[in-house]
Amino acid sequence: MSSSDGAGVPGPAFVLVNPQMGENIGAAMRVMANFGLDDLRIHAPRDGWPNERAEAMSAGSPLYASARVSDDLDDALEGCTVLYATTARPRGMVKPVMTAREAMAEARGLIAAGQKPGFLFGAEKSGLPNELVARSRAILTLPVDPGFASLNLAMAVGVLAHEWRAGDPPPQEFKPLEEAADAVALHRMYEHFEDELERAGFFFPLEKKPLMTQNLRNIFARAGLTEQEVRTFRGAIKALTIGRGKARVVRD
Amino acid sequence: MSSSDGAGVPGPAFVLVNPQMGENIGAAMRVMANFGLDDLRIHAPRDGWPNERAEAMSAGSPLYASARVSDDLDDALEGCTVLYATTARPRGMVKPVMTAREAMAEARGLIAAGQKPGFLFGAEKSGLPNELVARSRAILTLPVDPGFASLNLAMAVGVLAHEWRAGDPPPQEFKPLEEAADAVALHRMYEHFEDELERAGFFFPLEKKPLMTQNLRNIFARAGLTEQEVRTFRGAIKALTIGRGKARVVRD
């Protein structure tokens, strides 16, 4: 079984039907592995198999070795219980039409219920044959601009592969390591800053000080400082004031 | 101003910083146009400009001509009020970390408030310089598999470009043209089917008929038939029964 993430949830199958260009097959293999998908089936690739261009573009993806390549469509669809037909053209068939997000959300639910969804992608020029669209539970179409609708095959695979993971939170290693400053430390910093500004004659005329203070504090409140950043900023204030005279700022 | 859809909503800017391969620049141009984005800036492309490989891979995208190519970073960032840094590596900076979906949702809100978000993409090998990450409001990172994290540059652009439109409903032309059958027409079809099955001796033993009927009706209820499909299916029943004798089905 395929495994899509650390929790070992199986992923959907992606099926490339009669893909033409090895470059696209390889790029699809690369991006599927990027997003943790490992069940790729390739039905009747135009240029046969193995394919050097596919291998080069796969950039070391494990899917180059693991993909199931077959001229037998039954083999390519084996085990898939629900098919989604990706197509850029309406086919005049009565069938639910879904966005990538909707279809992948449904596929997640089906996987949780023990099913195996398969996403079908047609050939670069011709798309999926109507016969396969008819066998699919739903049409999946991407929101392309009608004036420039020709989406690269690997790009379509990439968009779908990303949708498989798009709801995941950012990875753990991106969590900030530093502690956020508390309101008291921030208030001390505000007072330090404002005391030095007052000494420098910045609050002029003085009746404007409350509003000017409020505007300055608002900047830092929005930024969300860490304890370290509070120390750094207080150090910057200190550096600016060392050796500085108490002369009033001259204004034109 | 850029226009992302028929309603003329401006889109975000995408900024490629020091991109290396013309193929990736061209593929990025193609997929941005696919998803209705038209504000591309290219800062200091490694192989200069114009670039034949970029042009070939752009597949006629209008962005090949309209992209702003410049060695001056200020020029590349002109007018962008909020920057998002796409990066695969944590930078040890304290900064909000967002998924593509979260960042694009925020960007939509900013655009509605008259701002211009810019999404920054670094070079293929090295990614964005820390200096540009530091200037960004947030880090945007894609949920790639840590074991195979190297995402192609154009693919990253494509995933983000799709997110710009991912919440859109399927295009109008995919709306089915046929009327759904109403419950009365469906019930007539059920009765027609079941009458012929009864004549054929299908309901055996007879006490199972209610359950068998229920199971058969359930298939069609799930499928959601149109008026035309009801007519077609009734025609199929009729065809199967024409000339057929009334002999009871022989069971072993």
User: Any idea where the domains of chain A sit in the sequence?
Assistant: 13-171, 183-241
Contact call for A229 and B176, based on CB within 8 A: no
- Rounded to 10°, the helix A153-165/B22-34 angle is 70
Average pLDDT for A95-108: 94
Q: Give yes or no for a cis peptide into B19 (omega within 30° of 0).
A: no
Q: What is the pLDDT of residue A9?
A: 81
Residue B136 backbone phi and psi in degrees, to 5: -95, 150
For A104, which residue in chain B has the nearest alpha carbon?
B166
The arithmetic mean of pLDDT across residues A50-66, rounded, is: 98
pLDDT tens over chain B, length 252 residues: 333 444 468 999 999 999 999 999 999 999 999 999 999 999 999 999 999 999 999 999 999 999 999 999 999 999 999 999 999 888 888 889 999 999 999 999 999 999 999 999 999 999 999 999 999 999 999 999 999 999 999 999 999 999 999 999 888 888 766 788 999 999 999 999 999 999 999 999 999 999 999 999 999 998 889 999 999 999 999 999 887 765 555 555
Residues A153-203 have pLDDT tens digits of: 999 999 999 999 999 988 888 876 678 899 999 999 999 999 999 999 999
Computed from CA positions of residues B68, B69, B75, B80, in that sequence, does the dihedral angle turn out positive or negative?
A: positive
Assign a CATH topology to domain A13-171: Alpha/beta knot (3.40.1280)
Determine, for residues A99 and B166 on separate chains, whether the beta-carbon distance falls below 8 Å.
Answer: yes
Per-chain mean pLDDT for chain A: 91
Architecture of domain B183-241: Orthogonal Bundle (1.10)
* Nearest C-alpha neighbor of B58 from the set B16, B38, B30, B35: B30
Q: Are A125 and A20 in contact (CB under 8 A)?
A: yes
What's the pLDDT at A2?
38
Q: What is the per-residue pLDDT across B57-104, written as a single tens digit (0 to 9) for each?
A: 999 999 999 999 999 999 999 999 999 999 988 888 888 999 999 999
Q: Which carries the bigger pLDDT value, residue A3 or residue A214?
A: A214
Interchain CB distance below 8 Å, B155 and A95: no
Q: What angle, 0 to 180 degrees and rounded to 10, lies between the N-to-C axes of helices A183-199 and A227-241?
A: 10
Residue B246: the pLDDT is 53
pLDDT over 50 at A127, yes or no: yes
> Pick from B5, B159, B226: which is nearest to A159 by CB?
B159
**Candidate CATH numbers 3.30.70.20, 3.30.750.24, 3.40.1280.10, 3.40.50.300; the one for domain B13-170:** 3.40.1280.10
**Cβ separation of A94 and B226 shorter than 8 Å?**
yes
Q: A104-113 pLDDT, tens per residue?
A: 999 999 999 9
* Cα gap B182→B225, rounded to integer Å: 9
